[in-house]
Amino acid sequence: MARVVLTASADSDTAYILADLAAKAGASVAARYAGDFDAVYRRLEQFPGSGSPRRAYGSLLCIGVVSPYTIYHEYSEAEDVVTIMRIVHGHRRFTRRMLNRPTTRP
């Protein structure tokens, strides 16, 4: 089973998204999205190579979707670690610069 870690950017993205959802749609909606994000992380533990590839941003980068949010992640087979790089709204234009490769947190 792979280990899933979030970068500081992904952790910050999550906190912002959940706080915004709680303020605009209520705590129950934010809790549902938190659960949906966790479900993606659990799936990646079991199937770390899953997701749609985004080769334009790196050979290992893939995405998962919790609509309308896109979860950008990479899998290192050698380390058996899935790194959640960023979580962004699907309408946001994603750029290579957004993958600043910060340090990770377990």
**Helix 8-25 to helix 27-46 angle, to the nearest 10 degrees?**
150
Domains in the chain: ranges and CATH: 3-96 (3.30.2310.20)
The average confidence (pLDDT) of the chain is 90
Q: What percent of the chain has pLDDT over 70?
A: 91
Beta strands in the chain (DSSP E): 3-7, 52-53, 61-66, 69-76, 81-89, 104-105
Q: What is the pLDDT of residue 102?
A: 47
Cβ 62 vs Cβ 77: under 8 Å: no
Can you name the residues that pair with 66 across neighbouring β-strands? 69
- pLDDT tens digit sequence for 10-33: 999 999 999 999 999 999 999 999
How far apart, in whole angstroms, are the C-alpha atoms of residue 65 and residue 106?
Answer: 21
How far apart, in whole angstroms, are the C-alpha atoms of residue 57 and residue 97?
Answer: 9
